[in-house]
Amino acid sequence: MQLFHTIQGLREALGAERLAGRRIGFVPTMGNLHDGHLALLQQARESCHVVVCSIFVNALQFGLNEDWDRYPRTLDADMEKLQSIGCDYLFHPADSEMYPNGLDSQTRVVCPTMTDILCGASRPGHFEGVTTVVTKLLNIVQPDEAVFGLKDYQQLAVIRRMAQDLCMATRIVAAPIHREADGLAMSSRNSYITADERPRAGQLYNTLQWIADQIKQGRRDFSLLEVEGKQQIGSAGFRVDYLAVCNSRNLEAAAVDDQEVTVLGAMYTRNARLIDNLSLTLDTRGKADAE
């Protein structure tokens, strides 16, 4: 695996790969890699000749009083994991490389839809930081495809819309959620969960599954399901950020005749904010299958 800190160095190396006719896959990350990240890279490997990973903790997507300063930075361990699965290139730029003119004067990429609800309502400016840095990274790497995990469902939807609106050539690919044995979605922030909270941390996923089961059984009172689900999470000792049954395509509140529905939720542990989702496809008879 080759490590690059500069845009120019990475571009030159990938330019040679491109001239050789090799297909390039890309997985952007903020590091502190776990098996979920590695699965994204393995998925990219299945359809591409060359796999690129980036590790950059992007200050632009962190709000006030968020965890940018303490976000885990584990480069040595991350590199060992990347080498073990055959990643070809790692891009690990400094802040000054990504934002040479500083954050305050950085040109921003703004997606006008789906960014002020759900996670966007709790984290103002977050998605503007995401779309800006992802645009920069896609311009730097110029991959044939970029793989993003479905755990960040809203982020994936926003990035897909951004890529479509900006006529980007990169294909945006979704990868399944990787989970722990109890259903907890793998996340770099899971390390913030305290030992006493950990046995209960799967409650968010349990609640999403319960709502999905209720929908499968024919319930369409989505607002009431949200209220009941929030009560379940609260009873487990966690604070709910949001719990919503949405149209899978535009993330608006689901209608009773929607065929593609996603249940999304976020909850707070003592030191972490956890997110998760579960999608359903409703057939013409009103039944549903979980995805």
- Pairing verdict, β 2-4 and 260-268: unpaired
Helix H, strand E, coil C: the string for 103-172 is CCCCCCCCCCCCCCCCHHHHCCCHHHHHHHHHHHHHHHHCCCEEEEECCCHHHHHHHHHHHHHCCCCCEE
User: Please, are residues 243 and 268 in contact by the beta-carbon 8 Å criterion?
Assistant: no
Which tokens in the block code for residue 98?
A: 């990504």
DSSP-derived letter for residue 96 is H
- Give the number of other Cβ atoms within 10 Å of residue 61's Cβ: 21
Q: Is 208 helix (H, G, I), strand (E, B) or coil?
A: helix
Q: Is 34 a known active-site residue?
A: no
The catalytically annotated residue of 37, 49, 126, 178 is 37
Q: Which residues are catalytic?
A: 37
